[in-house]
């Protein structure tokens, strides 16, 4: 009998069964769908029932519906039903939902409950939304000047140096610090340079008084503009790749000097995504003013000295101390926790500076109230159609300090939708400069379907040619190779579905290349077996020698290809990365199927025989 460990055969069988289970959702296809979401609220089962009743009364019946992460998705068998349903719900329940056109898989409910989903398709295969944003690079330069002004004031205040004023001249891109006399000028210059040694300050006079001047050079301005664009690209990628948005394989790239192009495969309506992309959110932690009446302050407009008037989400006034305990720039991490003892929460991490302040504050204020202020900055169009910056400050949480804590704690009292959005914005960071949408283009799925058809035809014909050649040339062993190649495609599809990687047109080319590499591996093994047979070795020994001695050649060739694929994966973008992802995963599956899978099938076919006189190879 041919010796091959039984546990390896069992392992191959288990992996194949799991692979088939993960790949099966791809057989169900997709339908046009509508996705319903509420701003900072969850869509309930009662909403689903009400929406389906409205549609049924108008003669529109969804082919499927499900709730997921606080959103409702309805599937429709035709594009006409999808558009008609959107108009009906928008008319029946205006401004209640954000309604997005999308596509949804037809996988059964039990598969969805297990977390099984089909692989995602790129923009070139399924269509989607193409967005272009303009980065306000002038705003980024202005922001840097404002930071310099604040830094100068802080340095002088900490050093107790008197000064007249710090003036920012935006048209000239300069900051001036005005002093009263030569003595304060010398001390002030030393204090500023002690905090910022790399600054190039110029001595000047304004109105006969000594002054310091910082002027941004053309190189400084260009570096700041480049930084703003690159930083915004990083922030947008972080937001789009977050589990809260779950956009499949988004592509974010610089376009020209001050523009960012975004590709969102599969989306037909970008309302929800656009709402998140342009936002800049942060938090402030402040102590509650418990001695004064906030209702009286709101009614009279007179806010007590040392306090500031805020409002909660339900428009209730709250008085908070002006001194900020911790600011948003001291946050290091934020994650959404859907199930805690006190309901949904956002876990927050602070840096060492923020942790020290929080520890001291909680130590000194046990039993007192601390509030969390959510600050949301976005750019919107006013009634005249002009883009304006809008800032919203709301108290989202008030809680009694019951213990001393520092760098890690939770914010509770928020709903799931609000919590996911807050965690996303805090974790991704704030935009380095405001964004203005200048182009939005929907890429229809018809072009994508044509690409899919051509790509699938190329893959099928290429694989069919390889299958026929192997079956004719290597006989029974060729049929074994065909079964292994089919298993390789199944496992690759399962792996792409599992990791959530998007399949693009170059990805389909990588699938064909992967099949070719798997064929090469089997040919190396089979030719080695034939060589051993020609040397007079017994069939059993020839099988063992063929697999063992071909291993090094197969391993070396696949490792070098994997290294090239990893480099493309890490440093490539767009179509290059789509090709590299499939190539690297395909190399892993082809190694497994060619070396272990093929060996297991050969064992099943020949291993049980007491005597093997010849091999059909």
Which of the four pLDDT bands, split at 50, 70 and 90, describes residue 381? low
**Residue 379's pLDDT is what?**
60
Give percent of the chain above pLDDT 90: 6
Report residue 40 as tokens.
């900072």
Chain centre to alpha carbon of residue 137 = 24
**Residue 20's pLDDT is what?**
93
441-466 average pLDDT score: 73
Calculate helix-pair angle for 575-591, 539-571, nearest 10 degrees. Answer: 160
Which of the four pLDDT bands, split at 50, 70 and 90, describes residue 19? very high
- 207: Cβ contacts below 8 Å, ≥ 6 apart: none
64-87 average pLDDT score: 85
Q: Rounded to whole angstroms, what are the CA distances from 463 to 172, 505, 518, 520? A: 66, 17, 11, 13
Q: How many Cβ atoms are within 10 Å of 399's Cβ, its own excluded?
A: 16
With H, G, I as helix, E, B as strand and everything else as coil, classify residue 94: coil
**Neighbour-count burial for 336-367, b at 16+ CB within 10 Å, e otherwise:** beeeeeeebbbebbbeeebbebbeebbeebee
Report residue 383 as tokens.
């009634």
**Per-residue pLDDT reduced to its tens digit, 339-373:** 677 677 788 888 787 888 888 888 888 888 888 88
Please say whether the structural domain 30-106 has been given the CATH code 3.20.20.140: no
CA 417/CA 346 separation, integer angstroms: 11
**Per-residue pLDDT reduced to its tens digit, 384-435:** 666 666 777 888 778 888 788 877 877 776 777 667 767 766 665 566 677 7
For residue 230, pLDDT over 70 is answered with yes
437 DSSP β-pair partners: 133
Closest CA to 41 of 72, 87, 62, 80: 72
CB of 349 closer than 8 Å to CB of 355: no
Least confident of 136-145, 218-227, 242-251: 242-251
CA 487/CA 473 separation, integer angstroms: 20
CB of 566 closer than 8 Å to CB of 584: yes
Residue 525, H or E segment: helix 505-534
Locate tokens 């910056």: which residue? Answer: 389
Q: Please give the model's pTM, rounded to 2 decimal places.
A: 0.61
CA 492/CA 485 separation, integer angstroms: 11
18-36 average pLDDT score: 87
**Per-residue pLDDT reduced to its tens digit, 236-276:** 877 776 655 556 557 788 888 888 888 877 665 566 676 66
39-43 average pLDDT score: 70
CA angle 37–135–331, rounded 5-degree value: 65
Dihedral sign, Cα of residue 124, residue 127, residue 128, residue 131: positive
**β-pairing verdict for 165-169 and 174-178:** antiparallel
Q: Report the residue count for the chain.
A: 617
CB of 547 closer than 8 Å to CB of 595: yes
CB of 408 closer than 8 Å to CB of 348: yes
Same fold, 138-221 and 279-430: yes
Q: Write down the CATH superfamily of domain 6-24+446-606.
A: Multidrug efflux transporter AcrB transmembrane domain (1.20.1640.10)
With H, G, I as helix, E, B as strand and everything else as coil, classify residue 55: helix
**Per-residue pLDDT reduced to its tens digit, 309-319:** 999 878 899 99
Locate tokens 């190649």: which residue? Answer: 485
CA 602/CA 138 separation, integer angstroms: 68
CATH number of 279-430: 3.30.1360.200
Report residue 67 as tokens.
């709730």
For residue 90, pLDDT over 50 is answered with yes
Closest CA to 590 of 571, 562, 552: 562
**Per-residue pLDDT reduced to its tens digit, 146-170:** 878 878 887 888 888 888 888 888 8
For residue 482, pLDDT over 80 is answered with yes
Which of the four pLDDT bands, split at 50, 70 and 90, describes residue 491? very high
Which of the four pLDDT bands, split at 50, 70 and 90, describes residue 1? very low
Look at domain 138-221 and name its CATH class: alpha beta
Residue 301, H or E segment: none
Report residue 377 as tokens.
């900055």
**Residue 39: φ, ψ to 5°:** -75, 110
- Residue spans per domain, the chain: 6-24+446-606, 30-106, 138-221, 279-430
DSSP 101-132: EEEEE---HHHHHTT--PPEE-HHHH-EEEEE
530 vs 572 pLDDT, higher one: 530
Task: Please provide the average confidence, as pLDDT, over all residues in the chain.
Answer: 81
**Residue 306's pLDDT is what?**
81
As a whole number of Å, the CA-based R_g of the chain is 32
């Amino acid at each position: 009998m041919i010796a091959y460990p039984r546990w390896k055969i069992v392992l191959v069988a288990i992996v194949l069964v799991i692979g088939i289970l993960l790949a099966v959702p791809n057989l169900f296809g997709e339908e046009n769908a509508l996705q319903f979401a509420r701003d900072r609220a969850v869509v309930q089962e009662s909403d689903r029932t009400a929406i389906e009743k409205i549609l049924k009364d108008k003669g529109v019946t969804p082919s499927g519906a499900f709730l997921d992460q606080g959103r409702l998705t309805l599937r429709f068998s035709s594009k006409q039903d999808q558009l008609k349903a959107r108009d009906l719900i928008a008319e029946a329940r205006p401004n209640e939902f954000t309604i997005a056109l999308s596509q949804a898989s037809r996988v059964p409910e039990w598969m969805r409950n297990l977390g099984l989903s089909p692989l995602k398709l790129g923009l070139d295969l399924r269509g989607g939304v193409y967005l272009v944003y303009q980065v306000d690079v002038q705003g980024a330069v202005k922001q840097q000047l404002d930071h310099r002004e604040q830094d100068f004031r802080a340095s002088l205040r900490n050093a107790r140096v008197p000064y007249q004023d710090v003036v920012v001249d935006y048209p000239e891109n300069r900051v001036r610090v005005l002093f009263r006399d030569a003595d304060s000028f010398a001390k002030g210059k030393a204090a500023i340079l002690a905090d910022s040694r790399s600054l190039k300050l110029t001595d000047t006079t304004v109105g006969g008084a000594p002054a310091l001047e910082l002027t941004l050079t053309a190189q400084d301005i260009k570096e700041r503009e480049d930084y703003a664009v690159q930083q915004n690209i990083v922030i947008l990628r972080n937001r789009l790749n977050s589990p809260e948005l779950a956009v499949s394989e988004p592509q974010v790239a610089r376009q020209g000097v001050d523009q960012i192009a975004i590709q969102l495969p599969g989306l037909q309506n970008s309302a929800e995504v656009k709402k998140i992309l342009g936002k800049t959110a942060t938090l402030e932690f402040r102590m509650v003013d418990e001695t004064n009446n906030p209702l009286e302050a709101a009614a009279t407009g007179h806010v007590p000295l040392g306090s500031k008037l805020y409002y909660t989400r339900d428009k209730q006034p709250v008085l908070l101390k002006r001194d900020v305990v911790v600011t948003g720039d001291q946050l290091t991490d934020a994650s959404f926790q859907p199930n805690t003892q006190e309901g949904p929460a956002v876990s927050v991490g602070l840096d060492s500076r923020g942790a020290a302040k929080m520890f001291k504050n909680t130590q000194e204020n046990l039993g007192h109230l601390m509030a969390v202020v959510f600050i949301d900055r976005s750019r919107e169009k006013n009634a005249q159609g002009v883009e304006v910056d809008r800032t919203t400050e709301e108290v989202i949480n008030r809680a009694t300090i019951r213990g001393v804590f520092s760098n890690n704690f939770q914010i509770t009292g928020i709903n799931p939708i609000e919590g996911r959005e807050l965690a996303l914005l805090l974790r991704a960071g704030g935009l380095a400069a405001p964004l203005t949408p200048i182009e939005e283009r929907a890429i229809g799925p018809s072009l994508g379907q044509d690409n899919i058809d051509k790509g699938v035809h190329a893959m099928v014909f290429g694989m069919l040619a390889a299958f026929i050649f192997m079956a004719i040339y290597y006989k029974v062993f060729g049929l074994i190779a065909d079964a292994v190649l089919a298993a390789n495609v199944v496992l690759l599809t399962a792996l792409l579905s599992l990791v959530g990687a998007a399949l693009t047109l170059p990805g389909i080319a990588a699938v064909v290349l992967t099949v070719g590499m798997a064929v090469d591996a089997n040919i190396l093994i089979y030719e080695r077996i034939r060589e051993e047979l020609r040397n007079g070795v017994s069939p059993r020994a020839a099988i063992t020698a063929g697999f063992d001695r071909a291993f090094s050649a197969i391993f070396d060739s696949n490792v070098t290809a994997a290294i090239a694929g990893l480099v493309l994966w890490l440093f490539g973008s767009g179509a290059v990365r789509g090709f590299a992802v499939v190539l690297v995963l395909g190399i892993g599956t082809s190694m497994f199927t060619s070396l272990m899978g093929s060996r297991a099938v050969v064992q099943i076919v020949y291993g049980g025989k007491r005597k093997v006189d010849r091999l059909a190879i």
